[in-house]
């Protein structure tokens, strides 16, 4: 059995056990959940350590079992560097979220009267189910298997928002579900098309991803299939203008749910683009890249500007994420290895920094019983550690150099600059907006005279501090020593570039020396 299968089974087993603990024994359920999450993380670390970045094989830990042979569907798992990074992210965040969100459900209950506070274990069981599904998405090598995980994952999230959230949680949950199902439906159609194409190509259906790469698809068909998959991923990611479910979902879920939803789950969108859209439909991807770049740039600025105008912290982080997802898709569709590496690195960094933002904000919100920025003020005077961690989280979100998010954002911009110079130059302006929305919010909520509602805040306790610590360590550690991640990502990205058939534009100097006419290099690279 592949280590990846084990990785997926552990949280599933855990969720069953958590689900069957006695209702009253909430603490035990939480501890069991944490133990299983940590165990999963340990196995994931084993997998990461055992991963050979220099291997010639595109995928490692591959296991393939027949599942529905008649339809050419198999249970196939395996990871490349990109998948591995995201598995690492998911398995890291789940224990952190459990540990940080120890009392999430109870606190959410206090915030929105009338909510049932019972069945805390259900929340943790769902979280473990979610973890298993997330791992499943990232390691699936069969496209149908990928799709199944892609859709099944909605179920735990739907309940985690709708049942354990705050505010207009039912509205948010239904909106999330309908949006995602719409995307899933379109993807299903495209999947059927892909299945038919594979039938034509191989003379028998085969949905094993590595095999599909050798297919030769008519460009028109590619276009249709590409958009089918892309729209689903764009909704998931979410890109402008199909983003409006995200602020609602973020605003109405518990911090833990929001973390997993935006930190990991949305990465399925960008991961899917990188894993499925690009290699399977290379011509279509390149053909429509300008459109998607344009959408991404709109998203970058749109998300940032709307974030500035938000008064609800969690909603604001949602918009911030929309801006960041714009960067990721821009990097993916710039078709340079720098940008794609940056985008993958961004996925990891964004996951961690968003997690920090949501979790620390969650601590504060649970103390103030409100997520409105105007309800805070002067927190730094009474709870310096909370405010400090909040600032660190904010700084990582605005991609301050020293955090891994900096390299991520910068690489995306540089890589995009290689191909679309003006677009990248324009997008660079977003770093100003990032400073604005983070610091404006920090200034209004954390600094200044201590406001009435904030007096009497207790600073973070042991549990709360140490749940966040791993995130800080990874964010800054990878900022100064990113090689462990980069080494894994680089070969995977190179391979993706190879599959797509894209090559990096050479530096202008090389052009100049080759042609001996050193002119127009900027314009040349802008083309």
Partner 1 sequence: MISLASTILSTSDEEPAVEPITAVVSAAEAGGLFEWFWLLIAFPVFGMLVLLIGGRRTNAWGHLLGTAVVLVPFGIGVALLIDMMGRAEDQRSVVLHMWDWTIAGNFTADMALRLDPLSMVFVLLITGVGSLIHIYSIGYMSHDPDRRKFFGFLNLFIAAMLLLVLANNYLLLYVGWEGVGLASYLLVGFWQYKNSAAVAAKKAFVMNRVGDVGLSLGIMLMFVTFGSVAFEEVFAAAGEADGTVVTLIGLALLLAATGKSAQYPLQAWLLDAMEGPTPVSALIHAATMVTAGVYLIVRSNALFDLAPIALNVVLVVGVVTMVAGAVIGCANDDLKKSLAGSTMSQIGYMFTAAGLGPAGYVFAIFHLLMHGMFKADLFLSAGSVMHNMNDQLNMRRFGALRTVMIVTTGTFFAGFLGITGVPPFDSFFSKDDIIKSALSQNWLAGIATIFAAGLTAFYMTRQLSMTFFGKKRWTQDVKPKESPPVMTVPMIFLSAGALFGGLTMVYLFNLQEWLTPITGFTPGELPIPDWAVEVITIATLAIGVTLAWRQYATRDVPETPPVNVTPLTVAARKSLYADAINEGLFMRPGQHLTRFLVWFDNRGVDGIVRGTASGVSGLSNRLKLLQNGYARSYALTMVVGVLVIAAIFIVSRWV
Partner 2 sequence: MTLVMQAAESSGSTGEQVTFWICAFLIVTGGLGLILSRKTVHSALFVAQTMISLAVLYAANGAPFLALVQVIVYTGAVMMLFLFVLMLVGVDSSDSLIETLKGQRVAAILMVLGVVVLIVASVGGALSNSTSLGIAEANEEFGGNVEGLAHLMFTTYLLPLQVVAALLISAALGALVLAHRERIGERLDQTTLANRRVAAFGDGVHPGGLPNPGVLASSNAIGTPALLPDGTPTELSVPVPLRGKKAPEILNDPELIKAEQAEIESISESESAIRDAGLAGIGGHTDLSDVYPDQLDPDEAGTGETELPPAPDDDAKPGDA
Tokens of 373: 């920025």
How many helices (H) and strands (E) the chain has is answered by 26, 2
DSSP 140: B
User: Does residue 446 touch partner 1 according to CB under 8 A?
Assistant: yes
Considering only 32-40, 153-161, 345-353, 504-512, which stretch makes contact with partner 2 by CB under 8 A? 153-161
Nearest CB to partner 1, comparing residues 287 and 521: 521
User: Does residue 439 touch partner 1 according to CB under 8 A?
Assistant: yes
In the list partner 2, partner 1, none, the entry touching 161 (Cβ below 5 to 8 angstroms by class) is partner 2
Residues 491 and 376: their CA atoms lie apart, in Å, by 46
Site for partner 2 in 169-188 (CB under 8 A): 169-170, 173-174
Place of tokens 């918009």: 319
Nearest CB to partner 2, comparing residues 174 and 526: 174
**Least spacing, CB of residue 99 vs partner 2, in Å:** 25
Place of tokens 């992210």: 89
- Write a three-state SS string for 487-519: HHHHHHHHHHHHHHCCCCCCCHHHHHHHHCCCC
Nearest CB to partner 2, comparing residues 162 and 272: 162
User: Does residue 23 touch partner 2 according to CB under 8 A?
Assistant: no
In the list partner 2, partner 1, none, the entry touching 314 (Cβ below 5 to 8 angstroms by class) is none
Site for partner 1 in 331-350 (CB under 8 A): 336-338, 340-342, 345
**Least spacing, CB of residue 112 vs partner 2, in Å:** 11
Cis? peptide before 238, omega within 30° of 0: yes
Among 10, 76, 127, 161, binds partner 2 (CB under 8 A): 161
Q: Which helix (H) or strand (E) holds 60?
A: strand 60-68
Q: Rounded to 5 degrees, what are φ and ψ at 78?
A: 165, 155
Site string for partner 1, 305-324 (x = CB under 8 A): xx-xxx--------------
Tokens of 30: 């939480």
Q: Which helix (H) or strand (E) holds 288?
A: helix 282-308
Considering only 41-49, 157-165, 235-243, 410-418, which stretch makes contact with partner 2 by CB under 8 A? 157-165
Sign of the torsion formed by the C-alpha atoms of 315, 360, 321 and 44? negative
CA torsion angle 193 198 203 207 (round to 10): -120
Among 204, 241, 290, 501, binds partner 1 (CB under 8 A): 241
User: Does residue 417 touch partner 1 according to CB under 8 A?
Assistant: yes
Site for partner 2 in 63-122 (CB under 8 A): 116
Q: Which residues bind partner 2 (CB under 8 A)?
A: 116, 158-159, 161-163, 165, 169-170, 173-174
């Amino acid at each position: 059995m592949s280590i990846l299968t084990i990785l997926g089974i552990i949280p599933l087993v855990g969720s069953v056990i958590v689900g069957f603990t006695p209702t009253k024994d909430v603490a035990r359920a939480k501890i069991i959940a944490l133990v299983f999450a940590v165990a999963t993380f340990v196995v994931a670390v084993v997998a990461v350590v055992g991963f050979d970045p220099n291997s010639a094989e595109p995928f490692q830990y591959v296991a393939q079992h027949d599942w529905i042979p008649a339809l050419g569907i198999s249970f196939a798992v395996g990871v490349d560097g990109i998948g591995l990074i995201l598995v690492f992210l998911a398995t890291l965040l789940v224990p952190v979220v459990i540990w940080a969100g120890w009392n999430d459900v109870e606190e959410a209950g206090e915030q929105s009267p009338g909510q049932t506070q019972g069945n805390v274990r259900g929340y943790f069981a769902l979280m473990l189910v979610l973890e298993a599904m997330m791992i499943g998405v990232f390691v699936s090598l069969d496209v149908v298997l990928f799709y199944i995980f892609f859709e099944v994952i909605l179920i735990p999230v739907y309940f985690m928002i709708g049942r354990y959230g705050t505010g207009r949680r039912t509205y948010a949950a239904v909106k999330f579900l309908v949006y995602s199902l719409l995307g899933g439906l379109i993807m299903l159609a495209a999947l059927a098309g892909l299945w038919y194409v594979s039938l034509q190509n191989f003379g028998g259906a085969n949905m094993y991803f590595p095999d599909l790469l050798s297919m030769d698809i008519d460009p028109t068909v590619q276009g249709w299939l590409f958009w089918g998959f892309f729209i689903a991923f764009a909704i998931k990611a979410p890109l402008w203008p199909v983003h409006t479910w995200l602020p609602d979902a973020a605003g109405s879920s518990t911090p833990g749910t929001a973390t997993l939803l935006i930190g990991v789950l949305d990465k399925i969108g960008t991961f899917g683009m990188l894993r499925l859209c690009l290699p399977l439909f290379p011509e279509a991807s390149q053909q429509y890249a300008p459109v998607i770049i344009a959408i991404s740039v709109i998203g970058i600025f749109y998300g940032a500007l709307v974030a500035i105008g938000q008064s609800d912290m969690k909603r604001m982080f949602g918009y911030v994420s929309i801006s960041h997802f714009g960067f990721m898709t821009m990097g993916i569709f710039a078709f340079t290895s720098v940008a794609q590496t940056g985008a993958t690195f961004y996925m990891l960094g964004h996951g961690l920094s968003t997690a920090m933002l949501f979790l620390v904000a969650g601590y504060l919100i649970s103390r103030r019983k409100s997520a409105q920025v105007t309800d805070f003020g002067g927190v730094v005077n009474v709870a310096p550690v909370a405010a400090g961690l909040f600032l660190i989280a904010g700084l990582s979100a605005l991609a301050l150099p020293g955090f891994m998010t900096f390299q991520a954002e910068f690489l995306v911009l540089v890589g995009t600059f290689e191909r679309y110079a003006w677009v990248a130059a324009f997008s660079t302006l977003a770093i100003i907006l990032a400073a604005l929305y983070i610091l404006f919010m920090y200034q209004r909520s954390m600094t200044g005279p201590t406001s009435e509602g904030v007096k009497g805040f207790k600073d973070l306790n042991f549990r709360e501090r140490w749940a966040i610590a791993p995130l800080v360590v990874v964010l800054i550690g990878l900022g100064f020593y990113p090689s462990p991640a980069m080494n894994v990502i680089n070969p995977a990205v190179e391979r993706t570039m190879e599959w797509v058939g894209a090559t990096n534009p050479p530096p202008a100097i090389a052009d100049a020396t080759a042609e001996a006419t050193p002119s127009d290099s900027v314009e040349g690279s802008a083309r």
